[in-house]
A = this chain, B = another copy of it.
Amino acid sequence: MASQTEENYLKSLFNLANPQGEVNISDLANQMQVSMPTVNSMVKTLQKSGWLIYEKYKPVTLTSKGQKEAALIIRKHRLTEMFLVNKMGFGWEEVHEIAEQIEHIHAPKLFERMDEMMGFPTIDPHGSPIPDKQGRIQEINYLSLSKIKAGQTVILAALANSSTEFLEFLNSRNLSLGTELHILSKEAYDHSIVVSYLNHPGETLSEKVCEKLLVQILDI
C-alpha cells in the first residue's frame, strides 16, 4: 500500500503525464514543491514497488498498476468534492483542500456510500470526470471557450483550472456549470470575448479566463 506521500506523487505523475505518459523529474519536483534529489530518490522507491518505470536521465512513466492506483485516488478526491457540494452544501471553491485530505482515507465503503447517495455521478463539481471503480477514466473532449467563434451558443461544461481564485472570479460573475453563453464578439487584439448569459447582457472575459472555460457547442 502506498504511503500518503507516495499517493501524492502518483496523483501528480498522473496529472503531469504527456500524451506518451512521460513526466520530467523537474516538473514533478515543481508540482510537488520538493527538490529534484527528493524526487530522484522517490521515483526509485516508486519503481521498486512497481508503480512506475524509471531509467537514469529519462522521463518516468507510470505502469498500468500505477495509473490505476492514481485514478482511484483521483476518484476518491472527486467523489468527495461532489459529496461536499451536493450533500453538505459547500461551494465549489471550498472543497478542493478538504478533498485533498479525504482522498487518502482508506475506507472503500465510505466512498461507495457517497457514490450511492449521489446516484453515481460521472463528473465532479468542476466538470472533471470521476474515474470508475476500476480506475478507468472517461475522457471527454470539451472545447476551450477561446476557440469558439462569435455568434455561437455554448454551455459551460467544465473548467481547465479549479483554483480557489478562479472559482471565486466565476462566482462573482454568476458563472456556473450548465450556464448557456452567447458569444457576442471576439476582440482580435487581446482575444477577449464578450458574452451574454442569464441577466448579464454583455460580460467581457479575458483570454486567460476563456482558455480555462470548457464548453459544449449547443446545436439547436
A interface residues with partner B (beta carbon < 8 Å): 84, 88-90, 94, 97-98, 101-102, 105-107, 109-110, 113-114, 117
Specify the chain B residue showing the minimal Cβ separation from A113. Answer: B88
Q: Which residue of B lies closest to A109 (CB)?
A: B94
Q: Bound complex: CA of A183 vs CA of B11, how far in Å? A: 57
Q: Which residues of B contact A114 (CB under 8 A)?
A: 88
Whether A90 contacts B109 by the Cβ 8 Å rule is: yes
Given contacts A88-B110, A97-B107, A98-B107, 12 further A-B contacts (CB under 8 A): A88-B113, A88-B114, A88-B117, A89-B113, A90-B109, A94-B109, A98-B105, A98-B109, A101-B105, A101-B106, A102-B102, A102-B105
Cβ–Cβ < 8 Å partners of A105 in chain B: 98, 101-102
**Cα A90 to Cα B112 with chains together (Å):** 12
Tell me how far the C-beta of A157 lies from the nearest C-beta in chain B, rounded to whole angstroms.
28
How far, in whole Å, are A94 and B113 apart by their CA atoms in the complex? Answer: 13
Complex contacts, A106 vs chain B, CB 8 Å = 101
Cα of A94 to Cα of B109 in the assembled complex, Å: 9
7 smallest beta-carbon distances between A and B, as pairs: A98-B107, A101-B105, A88-B113, A98-B110, A102-B105, A89-B113, A101-B107
Contacts of A88 in B (CB 8 A): 110, 113-114, 117
Q: Which residue of B lies closest to A102 (CB)?
A: B105
- State in angstroms the CA–CA spacing of A113 and B94 once bound together: 13
- Provide 19 A-B residue pairs closer than 8 Å at the C-beta atoms, listed in order of the A residue: A84-B110, A88-B110, A88-B113, A88-B114, A88-B117, A89-B113, A90-B109, A90-B113, A94-B109, A97-B107, A98-B105, A98-B107, A98-B109, A98-B110, A101-B105, A101-B106, A101-B107, A102-B102, A102-B105
